[in-house]
Structure 1
């Protein structure tokens, strides 16, 4: 299970006593804010359709407690765990040389069939404008449009894809392992979106080739926008980046 491996690597990476400044299981993003020599904010897409009972076993919140439950079957604990891992990742990441690109630029001209896991309209429209055949899969029916395929078809169709663009929420909903297994033909497998704030070392050898995510540039303003439930407002306080993952 990829998330379990990520959890174990994240716990080993903790090299100092972090203070848990703030956290919330919230819409549109769950967030965790930690402080060491500086502050770092990690987020994870909240998936309300995945939530059963609104209950968590965490009684004494801490960075370690959240990360320990990142592979829980309870989606609340998994989401808080993912946000905590992302906060730790953002704290340790050196993004000084990371290019400011989006997914469409990253793919170049080579792929013919691109699978997009999670209906991301800006990404999908950008890929189609460049002439790629795009297969769009989505689990949440509320996000379907006329050209969207059910995620139940991923198992059969992913082996046809030359490149796969995956929303970071696939790590939270547990579908990432199947996606990786069925995407062996793909020359590029890109984990993208705010939930993909992971440190590339945590994904080394997984089959993920790139991370295309966002780094918060103004923590206080981004945190305010998150508390106000602003999707675009949070993104306005962040910058895009791309990192390669070692095979």
Structure 2
């Protein structure tokens, strides 16, 4: 399980870091940590449709305790765990080789069949305007439109795809292993969105080729947006980046 591997690698990087604050919230769950070089904020998309029971086995919250739950079957624990992993990743991340561009810049004109995992309307609209015909898969029926395919079809259609752009919420809902396994011929596999704040070395040896996420430029402003449940309040002051997994 990829999440178990990521958890183990993240736990080796927590020395000198401490948990400052956290929140299981909408639209993003967040974890704030600090160390000798300052603070870092990690987030993970909260998926209310995945929640079964509102329980959490963490009695004494800590950075290490949260990360240990990153592969939990309990989605609340898993979401907090991934936010903690992302906080550590952002603290340790070297962006000297990053490109400060949007994920769209990765898509060549002759990309072939493109799978979009998780309906992302602005991205889908731009791809169609550029002449592509993306296959859009979505689990949450509230996000469906007439062109959206059920995520149940991913298993059957992904082997035909030449490129995959997946919302990193696939880490939160636990489908990442299936996606990587089924995307047999994809030359491009991008994890995108705020939940994709991972260190690229966590994904070496997988089919993931790029991470397209965002660096929090103003932590206090971003935190206020998160506490107010605002997409725009959180994302407005952040910088989008793309980094290659090599």
Please state which band the TM-score falls in when normalised by the shorter chain: over 0.9
Question: Which TM-score applies when normalising by structure 2?
Answer: 0.98
**Alignment partner, residue 29 of structure 1:** 28
Does 2:54 match 1:54?
yes
Give the alignment of 1:153-164 within 5 angstroms: 153-164=153-164
| CA deviation vs aligned residue, 1:32-64 (integer Å, no higher than 9, x gap) | 000002100000000000001101000111110
Q: CA deviation at 1:126?
A: 1.2
Does 2:71 match 1:80?
no
In 1: Cα distance, 2:21 partner to 2:12 partner: 22
Total equivalences in the alignment: 245
- After the TM superposition, list the runs of 4 or more consecutive aligned residues in structure 1 that deviate by more than 3 angstroms: none
Please, what is the CA RMSD of the aligned residues?
0.8
- Matched residue of 1:13: which SS? coil
In 2: Cα distance, 1:19 partner to 1:177 partner: 30
**Alignment partner, residue 69 of structure 2:** 69
**Alignment partner, residue 118 of structure 1:** 118
Larger deviation: 62-71 or 103-112? 103-112
**Alignment partner, residue 44 of structure 2:** 44
**Alignment partner, residue 183 of structure 1:** 183
In 1: Cα distance, 2:109 partner to 2:184 partner: 20
In 1: Cα distance, 2:100 partner to 2:18 partner: 30
Give the alignment of 1:3-18 within 5 angstroms: 3-14=3-14, 16-18=15-17
Q: CA deviation at 1:215?
A: 0.7
CA contact (8 A) 2:97 2:243 kept: no
Q: CA deviation at 1:129?
A: 1.2
| CA deviation vs aligned residue, 1:100-149 (integer Å, no higher than 9, x gap) | 11111111223111000000011111111111120000000000001000
Q: What are the ranges of 5 or more consecutive residues in structure 1 without an aligned counterpart?
A: none
| CA deviation vs aligned residue, 1:17-38 (integer Å, no higher than 9, x gap) | 2221110100000000000021
Question: Which TM-score applies when normalising by structure 1?
Answer: 0.97
